[in-house]
């Protein structure tokens, strides 16, 4: 593939980590993105930013953005019909009907457009909790007891337990229930938005270390990229929800036996499900047992941290993994990785309204990425930026990243 003459359309809620790496390897990049971070624009040939087009903020659009991702992707391809590839990042994981419309719409414009994504049938299998749990049960791997929510039906779960929507992306719609009263209260709040309470689950609460595993596959074979510590609900980052995804530390700095166990489960699932490209697997590690949580059948949010720690362009490998002749080259590159650094990624959310001047000052801090545009104020709970810090040790990487978060908090608190 002649990357210098290749073009690619990237579609998703937050595309910058993918765009950054694709630009590095010579792609001409076109983007449909939700936020339109300041550092995205220099990297792309053309873009459509949902918040700009609709002139509305995160709170208003977060429940409706999928429709806009599809229509704007089709519009952008119509304007640039010779684009060769497309990748979907976050935002459409469980939106199967929307994906069907997107695929049909894109290929109607350009029948030769190459998808660098899992097939919809594979995504459905990967997101089917019952199916995955049955596989894990047969293989003897641990997972939390999980039940579909049915009103007035009692299940064998002790408090605390988790009440979650089946499609609980990024930690949204995930609630820890400590008592009958807290469950009743949470049900009343949830019913305001979802009166029928469809697609909700009750799940055993597993207290432990959140981890993820990033794997690359070609539909038949799989290789480990990295085992990562997940940062969930980090209070210094001001997450709007208790279980909100706030970043990663790569690698996870686990006991080798724990990392090996997590890798074993991930690779086996990846092969069984015929996944392609780079995908993510989430676990909670308790007493050296990795309890499987979910599969993200797409490039995960930790990818930039993995690339920084490994000093390797993983999007290059993702593209190659869809070429059956490149697999040996991919496995060789992964085996030759020698870097031993650690990278922490933290996502910072606004604890209060953030002015345009504050945004400018935050953007000027070193190691800041996913920078918000200082064209308007940010509202409380809006994502402001992310921090990326690489160091020679796990502790230095994490605590130096937290120091940068403290600088951001100081700017906002001095308003």
Work out the pLDDT band at 140, boundaries 50, 70, 90.
very high
* Displacement of CA 348 from its chain's centroid (Å): 15
pTM, two decimals, is: 0.94
What CATH topology corresponds to 3-117?
Rossmann fold (3.40.50)
- Supply the pLDDT for residue 312: 96
Query: What would the pLDDT profile of 143-154 be if each residue is shown by its tens digit?
Result: 999 998 888 777
- Supply the pLDDT for residue 4: 42
Of 296, 288, 285, 265, the closest CA to residue 206 belongs to 285
Can you tell me the distance from the alpha carbon of 101 to that of 382, in angstroms, rounded to the nearest whole number? 29
Please say if the pLDDT value at position 54 is more than 90: no
- Supply the pLDDT for residue 5: 56
Task: State mean pLDDT over 160-188.
Answer: 87
- Cβ(354)–Cβ(407) under 8 Å? no
CATH class of 145-204: alpha beta
- Cβ(211)–Cβ(230) under 8 Å? yes
- Cβ(368)–Cβ(358) under 8 Å? no
* Displacement of CA 108 from its chain's centroid (Å): 29
Can you tell me the distance from the alpha carbon of 395 to that of 377, in angstroms, rounded to the nearest whole number? 34
Can you tell me the distance from the alpha carbon of 145 to that of 207, in angstroms, rounded to the nearest whole number? 14
- Supply the pLDDT for residue 172: 79
What CATH topology corresponds to 209-413?
D-amino Acid Aminotransferase; Chain A, domain 1 (3.30.470)
Can you tell me the distance from the alpha carbon of 324 to that of 358, in angstroms, rounded to the nearest whole number? 49
Q: Which of 14-18, 108-112, 168-172, 221-225 has the lowest average pLDDT?
A: 168-172
Query: What would the pLDDT profile of 310-339 be if each residue is shown by its tens digit?
Result: 999 999 999 999 999 999 999 999 999 988
Can you tell me the distance from the alpha carbon of 86 to that of 263, in angstroms, rounded to the nearest whole number? 28
- Supply the pLDDT for residue 1: 37
- Supply the pLDDT for residue 197: 82
Domain segments of the chain: what residues?
3-117, 145-204, 209-413
Query: What would the pLDDT profile of 246-277 be if each residue is shown by its tens digit?
Result: 999 999 999 999 999 999 999 999 999 999 99
Query: What would the pLDDT profile of 9-52 be if each residue is shown by its tens digit?
Result: 999 999 999 999 999 999 999 999 998 999 999 999 999 999 88
Which tokens hold the place of 45? 């040939």
Can you tell me the distance from the alpha carbon of 341 to that of 362, in angstroms, rounded to the nearest whole number? 26
Three-state DSSP string of 316-327 = HHHHHCCCCCCH
Of 207, 214, 354, the closest CA to residue 289 belongs to 207
Which tokens hold the place of 136? 């894990």
Please say if the pLDDT value at position 195 is more than 90: no
């Amino acid at each position: 593939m002649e990357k210098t003459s290749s073009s690619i359309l990237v579609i998703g809620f937050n595309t910058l980590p993918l765009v950054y790496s694709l630009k590095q390897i010579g792609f001409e990049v076109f983007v449909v993105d939700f936020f339109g971070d300041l550092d995205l624009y220099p990297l792309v040939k053309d873009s459509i930013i949902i918040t700009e087009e609709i002139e509305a903020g995160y709170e208003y659009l977060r429940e409706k953005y999928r429709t806009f991702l599809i229509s704007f992707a089709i519009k952008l391809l119509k304007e640039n019909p010779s684009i060769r590839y497309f990748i979907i990042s976050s935002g459409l994981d469980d939106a199967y009907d929307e994906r069907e419309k997107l695929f049909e719409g894109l290929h109607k414009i350009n029948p030769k457009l190459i998808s660098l994504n899992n097939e919809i049938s594979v995504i459905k299998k990967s997101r089917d909790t019952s199916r995955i749990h049955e596989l894990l049960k047969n293989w003897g791997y641990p997972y939390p007891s999980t039940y579909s929510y049915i009103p007035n039906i009692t299940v064998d779960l002790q408090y605390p337990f988790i009440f979650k929507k089946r499609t609980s992306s990024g930690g949204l719609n995930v609630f820890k229930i400590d008592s009958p009263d807290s469950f009743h209260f949470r049900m009343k709040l949830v019913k305001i938005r979802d009166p029928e309470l469809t697609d909700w689950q009750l799940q055993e609460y597993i207290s432990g270390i959140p981890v993820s595993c990033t794997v690359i596959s070609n539909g038949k074979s799989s290789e480990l990229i990295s085992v990562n510590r997940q940062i969930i609900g980090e209070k210094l980052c001001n997450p709007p929800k208790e279980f909100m995804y706030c970043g990663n530390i790569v690698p996870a700095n686990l006991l080798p036996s724990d990392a090996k166990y997590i890798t074993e489960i991930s690779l086996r699932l990846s092969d069984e499900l015929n996944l392609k490209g780079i995908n993510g697997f989430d676990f909670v590690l308790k007493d050296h047992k990795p309890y499987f949580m979910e599969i993200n059948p797409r490039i995960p949010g930790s990818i930039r941290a993995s690339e920084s720690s490994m000093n390797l362009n993983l999007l290059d490998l993702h593209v190659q993994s869809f070429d059956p002749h490149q697999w040996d080259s991919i496995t060789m590159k992964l085996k030759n990785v020698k870097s031993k650094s650690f990278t922490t990624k933290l996502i910072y959310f606004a604890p209060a309204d953030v002015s345009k001047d504050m945004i400018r000052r935050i953007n000027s801090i070193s190691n800041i990425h996913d920078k918000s545009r200082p064209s308007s104020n940010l509202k409380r709970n809006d994502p402001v930026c992310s921090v990326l810090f690489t160091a020679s040790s796990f502790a230095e990487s994490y605590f130096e990243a937290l120091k940068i978060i403290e600088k951001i908090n100081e700017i906002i608190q001095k308003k």
